[in-house]
Amino acid sequence: MIGARSIAEPTIKDTIIHRIDPRAKILILISTAFIAVTLDNPETMLLLFLTILSGFALARMPAIKLKTLALLLVLLIWGTIYSQALFYSQLPRTVIFTIISPDFPVLGWLTNGGLFVYEEGLHYGAIQGLRSASILSLGLLMCWTTDSRDMLNGLVGLRVPYSVAFMVVTAVRFLPIIITEVSTVVTVQKLRGFNPKKFGSGIVKTSLNILTPTLANCVRRTGTLAVSIQSRAFRANPDRTYLKKLKASDFDKVVVVVFVFTATSIVIIKLLYNMYTSGIYYTSGLRPVYAIAKGYL
Amino acid sequence: MKNIAILLLALVLIVQPAAAQIQQEDFKPEDMTTFIIQVPHGVEENGLAVRGSTLSAYVFFESYYDGNMNVTMELDLPEGFVLHETSIHSFSLQTEYDNWYRLVEFYIPEDMPCGTYTVTATAVVEVEGTKHTIVRTAQLNLASKEEVTDEISVSQLVIPSDEDGYGDPSHLSNTLVVQETSPALKKLLKVTDLKLNKEDFTSTFIGIEITNTGNSTIPVIVTYDILDTKTGEPVKAFKPEIMGISADATCYATLTLSPGSSSLISLPLYISQDAMGGDYLLRVKVKLTGSDWTAVTKEQKITAISRKWGPIITTFIASLLGLTALGFFISRSRAIMDRFKTRNLVLIALFGTVSFAAINLPMTILWELSHAIFGPFSFLFTGLFNEILLYMLIASLVVLIPKPGVVSLFMMVRFLLGGFITGSFTPITFITLSVNAIILELMLYAAGITSKNPALENRFKMGIICGFADMTSGYVSFSVWMVLYRLFYSDWYITANILIDGFLYTFIGTWFGISLGNRLKKVAE
């Protein structure tokens, strides 16, 4: 069963992916997000996606994680395919199915001439889905191979204020407790006759009935937790010491440099290419750059 | 005296016919008229025609005689040519520079042997009762369609080109940019009371080089169509009506190709803002002048890139706003965080956890699943979680901690939690959440909800504020999806999403969130 735990919990092993410094992982993730949103070439996008997927093999992910990943990817890509099949607005486009006919009362007018499934939109959605799939896959790979405490240490190492990091630590620590509480409350509500799946006002009622006791517990817990933290000198000194110091290896540094350099180069090349295609800036000296952007990016 | 009178009368009778004789002898048909025949129309020397085509011969007659003349013109076609109308035309020219012309259509049957034919036009000019005959001939070289096709070729297509037909390396070849007029520029023009020419159209040129490798002078008409690659139908957005006139009336060129020559011409290309991006087929057609037969067709695949300024500018501003807010927060993080007590931070963190457990985690699968099943209408379902639940939490948190910055911290915790647990460190999440936080913070503060003396009882006001903020962030979100992820969304879908999800659901969530907050306040007390 694929549940919240299989999505949320990391699998700690000793692989090359697991050993990467959390700061390096965050920087790799950000660089890859930039690369993914910059690319347009389907082959290069597929290559990026496959490269990221190969990381799961290197990290020796358990089957449950791979199943979760596969399910999320299938849903994500199918969702993109579906939406683009409906909203595809390029030519040529071939209608393969009519959802709302233009003559359909009210809806035909509301949808500004009907709603159709376009064949070309299916292909386009599949290609564009690779972009989100790459970012999602890499995000999950990073999360599933990094302990949340290390990730937060990484954030602090990247100059995120400690108070914010503390809030995130608190949130992460309390996540399993609150998930359990929410499911307990849902069970109690079901026993009292509420149907959480009832559409419309039923969902609002159920939400209120679930949120009120869950949040009331949170509010109660806040006081105790705040006193506990303050008694341990939280925010007493501007500088903090850490039990576990992060140290980036040479491999981490090389990987970060490669990713940041690649991302920066791709972004600059695509920016120059877009300025050229928009008629904003052109210089003949950049023709090889334009050729690279057009052919490969 | 009587004798003198008789003599004068005799003199008048003798002189009068002599004067008329002199006047008639002065009329020289070649000098006092212009008589032209062009076969086919546009060709003054030897014309070229193909078998099985309909041609137009052009006959022109002009008078330089200051008086009345009656003309009867007869066109004599070679045997076998089929004239579509009468061969004899009679007309009268009244004054000097008066003229007459006709385009006379005729058909050349398929079975006519190839060779050179003579077309003769004979004009019988009657001036003062005297008839003069003028004859003009035109040589028509009759060739087979294959011969003509071999002689003419479209040797080069340049798109886009300058107005002389030459390519410009600063523009991507075979690519058209469908660019709507910048909204900023439109506004500027409105403010300055200036008007933009052809506001609804962008235009460029197509350069076409045509070569004649044969020995005949060939008059041609060059036209083009931009076709849907699937259906082969012309796309109207590339031949829009301009001031009620069809672009077909302006998008053509006529030229006469000398033997062994090449000519580069340019044709205007108008692009309506309704034009969609994608792949098209540019089809250039070359017809012999006066004929309806297309001698040469050249096709080239072209790409149209559609640029919408609205989403681009929105994404740019939203990214800038998000980065500025992040920079501001990092540079003043200590001062900002010191405004909150430790219990406030813990409470925000726990609310972040609840939002993650109740919204983000189930939505990781439900979002995609509902998109996969309900397609465009999934927002009606996902909005219940994304908007109603979320704004119940936000509103109750604001009721519990009515301070500026509380919404931003809550959003930050959500973003970081999502990043650490589901890997959703995406540019879209960052931009959307930061814009949502900035707008909510500003509006809540301006409305006095998070100011020094918080006014938290007005559910309606808070609902409107949150609804407006979410509508804005919803529009930003769609813009970012369209620009950064190159996805398409229909206007009706965006509008419905923003109104229902962005406003209605948010309003409901906020309304109930205030009740929830007030109940939680009692717990806290």
Q: What is the pLDDT of residues A148-186, one digit of tens each?
A: 778 777 877 777 888 888 888 888 878 888 888 888 888
A178 in contact with B, Cβ within 8 Å: yes
List the 414-453 stretch of B: residues with Cβ below 8 A of A.
416-417, 419-427
A88 contacts B350? CB cut-off 8 A: no
Q: Which residues of B touch A151 (CB under 8 A)?
A: 420
Q: A4 pLDDT band (50/70/90 cuts)?
A: low
In this structure, are residues B298 and B284 in contact, taking their beta carbons and an 8 Å threshold?
yes
At A33, the amino acid letter reads: A
pLDDT score recorded for residue B70: 92
Q: Which two tokens stand for residue B5?
A: 């009178």
Higher local confidence (pLDDT), A190 or A61: A61
- Residue B221's Cβ-side half-sphere holds a number of Cα atoms within 13 Å equal to 17
**CB atoms A71 and B337 under 8 Å:** no
ipTM greater than 0.95: no
Q: Tell me if chain B has a CB within 8 Å of the CB of A126.
A: no
In this complex, is the C-beta atom of A175 within 8 Å of any C-beta atom belonging to chain B?
Answer: yes
Q: Please give the share of chain A, as a percent, with pLDDT higher than 90.
A: 20
| CB atoms A83 and B371 under 8 Å | yes
For A222, which of B229, B347, B389 is closest by C-beta distance? B347
User: Is B363 near chain A, with CB under 8 Å?
Assistant: no
Q: What kind and span of H or E run contains B425?
A: none
Q: Which residue has the higher pLDDT, A83 or B13?
A: A83
Cα–Cα distance measured from residue A17 to residue A55, given in angstroms and rounded to the nearest whole number: 7
Instruction: Report the C-alpha gap between B399 and B179 in whole angstroms.
Output: 47
* pLDDT tens-digit map of B125-144: 998 888 999 999 998 888 88
B301 touches chain A (CB under 8 A): no
Regions of chain B where pLDDT drops below 70: 1-25, 179-202, 290, 364, 454-456
Alpha-carbon distance of B459 to B30, in angstroms, equals 98
**Phi and psi at residue A238, to the nearest 5°:** -65, -35
Q: Can you give the pLDDT at residue A6?
A: 56
CB contact under 8 A, A211 and B409: no
Q: Judging by DSSP bridges, how do beta strands B294-307 and B175-179 pair with one another?
A: parallel
Chain B CB contacts of A87 under 8 Å are: 376, 487-490, 493
Would you kindly state where each structural domain of chain B is located, as residue ranges? 26-143, 148-307, 309-524
pLDDT at B35: 93
Q: So what's the pLDDT on residue B192?
A: 54
Quickly tell me which residue has 């307990």 as its tokens.
Answer: A184
Contacts of B412 in chain A (CB under 8 A): 164, 167
User: Is residue A60 within 8 Å of A295, Cβ to Cβ?
Assistant: no
Distance CA(B165)–CA(A190), nearest Å, equals 75
Q: What count of other Cβ atoms lies within 10 Å of the Cβ of residue A161?
A: 18
Neighbours of A1 (CB within 10 A): 6
Q: Is B185 on the interface with A (CB under 8 A)?
A: no
**Interface with A, mutate which of B227, B353, B486 (most A CBs under 10 A):** B353
Rounded CA-CA distance B435/B323 in Å is: 10
Q: State residue B20's pLDDT score.
A: 47
pLDDT of residue B242: 72
State pLDDT tens for residues A110-140: 887 888 889 999 999 999 989 989 988 998 8
A143, A222, A232, A294: best to mutate for the B interface, most B CBs within 10 A:
A222
Of A8, A34, A137, the CB nearest to B421: A8
**Upper half-sphere CA count for residue B475 (Cβ side, 13 Å):** 18
Amino acid at B299: E
Q: Are A242 and A10 in contact (CB under 8 A)?
A: no
Percentage of the residues of chain A whose pLDDT score is greater than 70: 94
Structure tokens at B132: 């003069």
> Which pLDDT value is given to residue B336?
87
Q: What distance in Å separates the CA atoms of residue B404 and residue B443, rounded to the nearest whole number? A: 10
Q: Do B421 and A7 touch (CB under 8 A)?
A: yes
Q: Any CB–CB contact under 8 A between B19 and chain A?
A: no
CA A286 to chain centre: 35
CATH class given for the domain over B148-307? mainly beta
Q: Tell me the pairing of strands B261-272 and B201-212.
A: antiparallel
Q: Nearest Cα to B351, choosing from B268, B417, B281, B430? A: B417
User: What is the C-alpha to C-alpha distance for residues B137 and B37, in angstroms, rounded to an integer?
Assistant: 7
pLDDT at B22: 44
* Beta-carbon separation of A91 and B484 below 8 A: no
Distance of CA B90 to the CA centre of its chain: 48
| Distance in Å, alpha carbon of A254 to nearest chain B alpha carbon | 22
Q: How far apart are alpha carbons B205 and B269 in whole angstroms?
A: 5
In the CATH scheme, what is the code of domain B26-143? 2.60.40.10
Structure tokens at A96: 């393969």
